[in-house]
Amino acid sequence: MAEIVKRSGSFQASCFYLGEALCGIDINLIQEINKQINYTAVPHAPDYVLGIMNLRGRIVTIIDFGKKLGLGSTKVTDSTRIIIVNSQEEQIGLMVDKITDVITGKWEEVSPPPANIKGIQGRYFLGVCKSKDRKLVALLNVEEALADEGN
- Which part of the chain contacts another protein (CB under 8 A), choosing from 15-23, 24-32, 52-60, 73-81? 52-60
Work out which of 4, 23, 60, 129 binds another protein, going by CB under 8 A: 60
* Nearest-angstrom CA–CA distance, 66 and 56: 25
- Under the binding rule (CB under 8 A), the answer on residue 102 touching another protein is no
- Under the binding rule (CB under 8 A), the answer on residue 148 touching another protein is yes
* Nearest-angstrom CA–CA distance, 52 and 114: 33
- Under the binding rule (CB under 8 A), the answer on residue 41 touching another protein is yes
How far CA 48 is from CA of 1, 54, 64, 105, in Å, comes to 26, 18, 5, 31
Instruction: Give the length of the chain.
Output: 151
In 29-57, which positions are buried (b, 16+ CB within 10 angstroms) versus exposed (e)? bbeeebeeeebeeeeeeeebbbbbbebee
- Under the binding rule (CB under 8 A), the answer on residue 142 touching another protein is no
Closest CA to 62 of 46, 39, 44: 39
- Under the binding rule (CB under 8 A), the answer on residue 57 touching another protein is yes
The amino acid present at 52, given as its one-letter code, is: I
Work out which of 3, 20, 32, 90 binds another protein, going by CB under 8 A: 90
- Under the binding rule (CB under 8 A), the answer on residue 36 touching another protein is no
* Nearest-angstrom CA–CA distance, 55 and 126: 29
- Under the binding rule (CB under 8 A), the answer on residue 150 touching another protein is yes
Tell me whether residue 25 or residue 50 sits nearer to another protein (CB atom).
Answer: 50
Q: Output the smallest distance, CB 1 to another protein, in A.
A: 24
**Contacts to another protein by CB under 8 A:** 38-46, 49, 51-54, 57-61, 63, 88, 90, 92, 148, 150
